[in-house]
Structure 1
């Protein structure tokens, strides 16, 4: 009986082992072991660590953060002393993110502190064995894109409705600030742009990297703009047209970045309020919200910054022996008499001081002591491409112009024409 029981037990064991072997035979060998996906960031394989992410809080310091994470005072002092030559740990700013890496041991020993100054730049302080501190950058991909459009309202509205970056709108305005009056764009004007955007780790948008070339058709006239470095040592670049002429002029087209012309220079103006008496208007009014920055349209010296009667608070700038400009009805001035200003400097803010029915700046333009209409004056140009670089420039812009000319115009309510064209890696 005893021997029979042993035989039964052995047979059952063999049957179970056989079933186990059958199960193993049916296993997918690829399911037996799955290689963990390597998660890399800041130059580390994060799978090798316990990762803690947080944000610098008000009152935080490098020492207090490490102390909260079980690093002793003496160790903190050593780390701070070794790291100070590479990075000043006192510069940690509230609101900035940081990452702590801990060893996967029984006590989860802190090994590394990583501080992100911005989306691209970060600081690593590694203190696992020896103490090492260094600055690094995340890899940035530069993607070249194209965009185009037909103006039906304004440049900013047309570009914004396409979802184009705000900075791109501002840069376009800057490029053509000397040659096109954006307050007098016509329905049907067209633009094309070749520009670059930055992306971190392929997908995180990190801002505009600049415009390479642009085209604007205004009142049937073509305006090309190509970015070209005339000083390779400083990498200083500016925009020039297809004939190697600078797009810059001695004067900006307008003293405000965004607004509209509400009243033009008109020597024959008659106003109903004054019984249709002749009341010449020797300035150009740009309507804009109170507080809008008023810009110097050219380099020069402030000869007046005061307030008087109907002019309200105003600034007058002498640019040279021929030209002067005046800016009226400010809410306040930002410059003083005798101060030298450069083109584009903020000299005051739009207001309603003096005789005015609404917020605007009255822009007056003087030539040889007489007030004239700046929009009818042929303004002097800035320097163009140096002669020794002329042929090089013309060869440089050939492919860019061909690319611009091939971009189809996106008309209102059409799908946005914006596509990656080429990629470079930083």
Structure 2
């Protein structure tokens, strides 16, 4: 043993001095790691009985990835307070709408493609499909709505399969229980007209529309009008379809709306796919860019609404996507809209928030320089800032968020608005509806 020790000592002495220093440092670090153990103590009154506890934490691949240097977003990153976003009466939600997200099924949609973009686990989607296999064959125009708890778990999903059949799926452990409500009322159309005398919300309710119906009108015309800037004396006409059961209105559906503001007329008419188009069948929604930069950069941290802090075990959601972009990279608005925030947001650093219509919001964080101001109108592709490393950030990157109906979604997979209109037989059927509906919406 002594001979081996002398041989090692002799070999160490013959090494160049830099190598001896490096080897010695590595030895010290290795020994320190080997003997170190994190200790936790119970705050017991009798300190003499306090016993150390050693806690082993097992991390899955996703959590391990969040600790790598490439994950530039701190694990406890907090988004800017929602109070930073200007609110108005158009943002009011009725009691039964709070926390509920709604979606109209369109071409190519599946249950998984719809729910997965909101961070809902595939296991929960599979459990829903097991509860009712018809969910695997959604039809264009059907409506879904769902609620999540604070941890991002799906609690309830409502599926309006048709005007008469509505399925509700409530969580029960790891499964969902299904219930069916069948209505047998009579559907009747009615036209409600009004003139603005104050805000649109107040005037529409005074004319007889419910909060939900007001919200439907705003969503239908959101790409054509800024409802906050309507003027006193502006006129509107709304065609609603109500289901009457035993003399009471059970549910309603917006069919068409006509708004006259500043001498201009704006129309939105529902098609068979459940979406609204103008009188010629052209799409109303404005197209979006998928990425907020001129070219696609590497994703350094993904969207994860259920990310857990591996130490505390608490949910610390990552509500956006981080792109590893060099400092000074031009940041682009992904769609037409209005800048509602452009300032320093603390942990978010310099950041910009843009409202696109009434349903969509995008946020851009950790910027070096802001190129826009609150209230400014921007077009898709406009430069709004230069990327940076401000706020609570461990490296240069761009944090990008997209919100739909006040819920954060995955910007890389979210179904974005498109400008395409109707074609072929669909357009012919729609134009026949327009010819029937528009005369009912005449304004005096």
Normalised to the residue count of structure 1, the TM-score between the two structures is 0.37
Larger radius of gyration: 1
Higher-strand-fraction structure = 1
Normalised to the residue count of structure 2, the TM-score between the two structures is 0.35
